Each structure stands twice: as structure tokens, then as C-alpha cells.
Amino acid sequence: INGNIMPGKAEIGGWGEGEGEERVNLAEQSLLNKLIRRSLVRNRNQVEVLQADPNSPLYSVKTFEELRLKPELLKGVYNMGFNRPSRIQENALPMMLAQPPQNLIAQSQSGTGKTAAFSLAMLSHVNPDNKWTQCLCIAPTYELALQTGQVIEQMGKFCPDVKLAYAIRGNRMERGVKLQEQIVIGTPGTVHDWCTKYKLIDPKKITMFVLDEADVMIATQGHRDQSIRIHRQLPMNCQMLFFSATFEDSVWRFAEQIVPEPNIIRLKREEETLDTIKQFYVNCKEKEDKFTALCNLYGALTIAQAMIFCRTRKMAAWLTESLTKEGHQVALLSGEMTVEQRAAVIERFRSGKEKVLVTTNVCSRGIDVEQVSLVVNFDLPVDLDGNADNETYLHRIGRTGRFGRRGFAVNMVDSQHSMDIIKQIEMHFDRKIIKLDTSNLEEME
Ligand code: ADP
């Protein structure tokens, strides 16, 4: 898909068989999150706001009514089941709807309401009587553009005069005939072609430009430059809106190129903690021995929902097969599955159809499965040098305060090296990891 493979973290096959190397694909991860998400991710952190003009009053809203939207748009918002603006929307919406127009850079983790916010802004911004393109929105991939397009369509359900076009590959258009759709969403390459080569859009008439998922965009070969090329054709007074889930330096530099005199809104993600987790380790010899230990744990496993992490696809497949042979019902999340297949597996697990999910780390990174109360590290998380990967460990078993439920983590230790890793993790977090005897599980009570 658009050749968007992220260089970067790789999962290295253990046991010298060179198996199952997986790469994190940011665009896929983002799509997966969108497919499985049904509601807002709650976040109790304070929103940080940095105004372009610190002397101008700072508006925030607690209700959608306060925004004085067109009634048909307000109806669309309520029809989506939104009762009140999310944390980030409270500040972002009045800024995006302000007159004269203001530029915005907004950062918050996925699921906090960014897409809904700029969809609303675009729908509110356009003049339906003008039959030309006024808002341009670019997204990193075909699928992500479609997802956002669906949000715009749903929210604009009662605005029949506002039309949306998709500038994505395969969508053939007649050259030189100007589009009548007020909103165009697409990928940078096709949007650029539509503006320049095919002249379907007059970029000089664009008054709102939205760049979504900036972090994914810059991780995708060529997308950054295409975005800047589109941006150069826009008029000076075009309102620029820029969104990202993360904000490392490269994203920031990109933002500065796209958004002059920005207002900046940030919402830090809630920190994960190990405080509500009881951590154990089990001594095992090799994978068969780990499997036996796991089967002994199984009674405890199936009480609640459990996730089991393996290092490679191959190990995850072997473990799933072995557990299934023993008559257990397990789901497998694996890198060779399509994003849709993975979303379906996670949905089933979430709804409790399967109690145990076996997965590799890459596959499940960034997915919150709130009801999981037991995590088993069948393989310990290590970095490329074989040292403890504390960050991944925390992601796997940590919880944010909001769930606060108690949980258990069981680590399988199969060598002196893995014992050293356990020690490293203990030191790093300053939390004891207790030895567990799986033939006597009283410690877990
Ligand atoms: P992001 O773009 O930050 O990932 P989304 O806009 O996709 O977040 O929102 C995440 C989920 O929350 C979606 O299912 C969306 O429909 C829902 N949502 C967004 N805004 C609200 C709101 N104000 N009230 C309730 N649900 C909302």
C-alpha cells in the first residue's frame, strides 16, 4: 500500500532460524486503531494551549451548542452519539471555527477526537452554495483517507448540499473539469496531481487545509515532500490545520513548514504504571517446558482474559497450535494477517469470544485491551542488543490509572540471560518480580 513500510524497529527472530521478522507499519497501526475503536480514549491530563497571540482571549466550550453550528450539522454531531466535546475538542473547536481564521497544530494520542474535530471544522467552514473545492484534507494512505471520509460523510449526513470527493488512486477523473465538491480528501500524491496535472482543483480557492496523521505522513516515503508541494500552491490566507498523534522533532519541523503563526494544543497521554500489577517469573528450560508451565497456569488464565506475548510469528503460531491441540480456545494475532483480519480478531477477543490471545509484540503495539488482567511474557521483551526492553515491558503490562484494576504479569525465564533481563527490569522499575512455582499457584491468590 503506497510503499509505506517504516524502517525502524524490527522484531528479530530468536533461536537462530531467521524466522518471522516483522516491521512496525505506522499507517497500518493507525488504521487498526480506527477499525477497532468505538469510543473516545479517556485522558484526564490537562490540555496545554499555546496561543499564537497570547493576548487574545482563550475560548473553550463545554457543549456543542456553544459553537453556534448550522442546525443540520449539530444534528449530525448528535446523531453520531456525541454528547459533549472531548478534552481536545473543547479547545480545538472554537479555535478552528474562529473568525478571522486561525492556524492550529494539535497533538494527542489516537482516539482522543482529532478526526471528529477537523471533520466538524471542514463541514462548518464550507459554503455549500459555492460549487468548488474549498477544503482540502490529506491523509497518509488510501485506507486512512477512506476512514476519515466516512466520518465526514456521517457527520454531514444532514447537510445534503455539502459534497465530498476522494482523491485516491484508482479514482479516475476527467481532465480539466473542475470538481464541484466542496471538500476533497485524499493522499498527497493524488491530491497534488488533481491540483496540478489534471487541474480538477484550483488550489488558489482553497481556504482550509488539513494535514492529518503528520507523524505517519513523514514516515512514508515521499509524502512529506508532496505535502509541501501542495501547501506551496495554497493562498497565503488559507487556514492551516495540522494533526499528529506523536510529536518528535521531525514532526515539529514539518509542522513549522506547513503552519505559520500556529496556535498549539497538546494533550499528553496518560502515563502507564506498574503499581497495580503483581509481577512474577517462572523458571523453565525450553519452549516445551514453558508450554507446560503455561498449561498449569491455564486455569488461572481462563478466569479472566489473558494475552500471551511471543517474540516471533513462528513461536506465536507454534504456541497457538499447541494450546489448541490441548483443547483450549485461543485467538492468534499475527503479522501476516491483513489489518481487517487483525481488527476482527481483536474484536472477538474484546467481546470475550476468546479468553486468550496469543500475539507478537509488533502486532499488538498500541492496542489497549482494557479487560486483560493477565499478561504472559512467553518471551521477554528485548531490544536489538538483547538487553531488557523496558518500554515494551511497560506497554505490555502497564495500565493507566483510569482502569486501575489489578493485574498479573507472568514472565517465562528460560536461561541465565533471561534471568538477567528480569533483574534489569526489576532494577529499572524498582518493583519486585516474584518467583512463581506453577505447580503451586497459591502465590497468585
Ligand atoms: P482521533 O482522530 O484522535 O484518533 P477520533 O476523532 O477518531 O480520534 O475519535 C475517536 C473515537 O471517539 C471515534 O469512535 C469517535 O467517533 C469518537 N468521538 C470523537 N469525538 C467524540 C465526542 N465528542 N463524544 C463522543 N465520542 C467521540
Question: For 96-147, what is each residue's pLDDT tens digit?
Answer: 999 999 999 999 998 999 999 999 999 999 999 999 999 999 999 999 999 9
What pLDDT does 371 receive? 74
Q: How far apart are CA 186 and CA 343, in angstroms?
A: 23
Q: Is 44 in the pocket of ligand 1 (CB under 6 A)?
A: no
Which of 87, 115, 347 to mutate to test ligand 1, by most ligand atoms within 8 A of the CB atom?
Answer: 115
Residue 395 has pLDDT above 70, yes or no: yes
pTM of the full structure: 0.85
Q: How far apart are CA 335 and CA 268, in angstroms?
A: 29
3-state SS class at 159: coil
**How many A from CA of 277 to the centre of ligand 1?**
29
Q: Is 39 in the pocket of ligand 1 (CB under 6 A)?
A: yes
**How many A from CA of 353 to the centre of ligand 1?**
25
Q: How far apart are CA 147 and CA 151, in angstroms?
A: 7
Which of 33, 74, 86 to mutate to test ligand 1, by most ligand atoms within 8 A of the CB atom?
Answer: 86
Q: From atom 19 of ligand 1, which residue's Cα is the shortest distance away?
A: 113
Those residues whose C-beta lies under 8 Å from the C-beta of residue 171, and which sit 6 or more positions away, are 165, 190
Q: Is 440 in the pocket of ligand 1 (CB under 6 A)?
A: no
Residue 291 has pLDDT above 90, yes or no: yes
Residue 2 has pLDDT above 60, yes or no: no
Q: Is 312 in the pocket of ligand 1 (CB under 6 A)?
A: no
Q: Is 244 in the pocket of ligand 1 (CB under 6 A)?
A: no
Q: How far apart are CA 356 and CA 348, in angstroms?
A: 11
Determine the atom of ligand 1 nearest the C-alpha atom of 151.
16
Q: At residue 335, what are phi and psi to the nearest 5 degrees?
A: -65, -25
Q: What is the dihedral of CA 245, 248, 253, 256, to 10 degrees?
A: 40
In sequence order, what E strands does 66-218 have? 103-108, 135-138, 164-167, 183-186, 208-211
**How many A from CA of 365 to the centre of ligand 1?**
20
What are the grid coordinates assigned to 22, written together?
Answer: 516483522
- Yes or no: say if 166 and 145 are a contact pair by the CB < 8 Å rule: yes
**How many A from CA of 141 to the centre of ligand 1?**
20
- Average pLDDT over the chain, rounded to whole? 88
- Yes or no: say if 307 and 369 are a contact pair by the CB < 8 Å rule: yes
In this structure, how many other beta carbons lie within 10 angstroms of the beta carbon of residue 181?
A: 21
What are the grid coordinates assigned to 311, written together?
Answer: 517474540
Residue 438 has pLDDT above 80, yes or no: no
Taking residues 192-213, what's their average pLDDT? 97
Q: How far apart are CA 231 and CA 188, in angstroms?
A: 10
| pLDDT tens digits along 315-328 | 999 999 999 998 88
Q: At residue 266, what are phi and psi to the nearest 5 degrees?
A: -135, 140
Q: What is the dihedral of CA 298, 300, 302, 307, to 10 degrees?
A: -80
Strands 434-435 and 277-283: parallel
**How many A from CA of 322 to the centre of ligand 1?**
39
Look at the chain and count its residues.
Answer: 445
What pLDDT does 327 receive? 87
Considering only CA atoms, give the Rg of the chain.
24
Which of 34, 39, 79, 143 to mutate to test ligand 1, by most ligand atoms within 8 A of the CB atom?
Answer: 39
Which of 40, 148, 150, 241 to mutate to test ligand 1, by most ligand atoms within 8 A of the CB atom?
Answer: 40
**How many A from CA of 88 to the centre of ligand 1?**
10
Taking residues 163-177, what's their average pLDDT? 91
**How many A from CA of 115 to the centre of ligand 1?**
7
Q: From atom 22 of ligand 1, which residue's Cα is the shortest distance away?
A: 82
Residue 445 has pLDDT above 70, yes or no: no
Q: Is 403 in the pocket of ligand 1 (CB under 6 A)?
A: no
**Locus of grid cell 471520509:** 149
